[in-house]
Structure 1
Amino acid sequence: MYKVNEIFQTIQGEGHFTGVPSVFIRLQVCPVGCAWCDTKQTWQALAQDQVSFGDIIIKQVDSPTWCLASVDEIISQYQSLGFTAKHIVITGGEPCLYNLLPLTQAFEKMGCQCQIETSGTSEIICSDNTWVTVSPKIAMKGKLPVLTSAMQRANEIKHPVATQKDIDQLDALLTATNCQAKSGIALQPISQKPRATELCMQVCIERNWRLSIQTHKYLNIA
Structure 2
Amino acid sequence: MLYKINEIFETLQGEGSFTGQPSIFIRLQGCPVGCSWCDTKHTWETKPDLAIPVNDLLAKSEESEHWSELSVDGIAKLFVEQNYQAKHVVITGGEPCMFDLTPLCAALESRGYSTQIETSGTFEVNTTEKCWVTVSPKVNMRGGYKVLSQAMQRANEIKHPVATEQHVDDLKALLAEHQVTDKQVYLQPISQKQRATELAINTCIENNWRLSVQVHKYIGIE
**Letter of the 2:197 counterpart:** T
Tell me by how many angstroms 1:181 deviates. 4.7
Whole-angstrom distance in 2 between the partners of 1:205 and 1:191: 19
Are 1:217 and 2:199 an aligned pair? no
Q: Is the 8 A contact 1:6 1:56 kept in 2?
A: yes
SS of the equivalent of 2:144 reads coil
Q: TM-score, normalised by structure 2?
A: 0.98
Are 1:156 and 2:157 an aligned pair? yes
Post-superposition CA distance 1:143-182 (Å, at most 9, x none): 1000000001000000000100000000110011111353
Matches within 5 A, 1:116-195: 116-182=117-183, 184-195=184-195
Structure 1 partner of 2:102:
101
Tell me by how many angstroms 1:67 deviates. 0.8
Structure 1 partner of 2:201:
201
Post-superposition CA distance 1:129-152 (Å, at most 9, x none): 000000000000001000000001
SS of the equivalent of 1:192 reads coil
Whole-angstrom distance in 1 between the partners of 2:169 and 2:105: 34
Q: TM-score, normalised by structure 1?
A: 0.98
Structure 2 partner of 1:41:
42
Unpaired runs of 5+ residues, structure 1, are: none
Whole-angstrom distance in 2 between the partners of 1:61 and 1:79: 23
Q: Is the 8 A contact 1:154 1:181 kept in 2?
A: no
**Letter of the 2:81 counterpart:** S
Go from structure 1 to structure 2 and tell me whether the alpha carbon gap of 1:32 and 1:189 turns closer, same or farther (over 3 Å shift): same
Structure 2 partner of 1:9:
10
SS of the equivalent of 2:159 reads strand
Q: Is the 8 A contact 1:28 1:93 kept in 2?
A: yes
SS of the equivalent of 1:191 reads coil
Post-superposition CA distance 1:198-222 (Å, at most 9, x none): 0010010111100000110111110
Whole-angstrom distance in 2 between the partners of 1:118 and 1:181: 19
**Letter of the 1:189 counterpart:** P
Identity %: 55
Q: How many residues align?
A: 221
Q: Which runs of 4+ in 1 moved over 4 A?
A: none
Structure 1 partner of 2:21:
20
Q: Is the 8 A contact 1:88 1:114 kept in 2?
A: yes
Q: Is the 8 A contact 1:152 1:180 kept in 2?
A: no
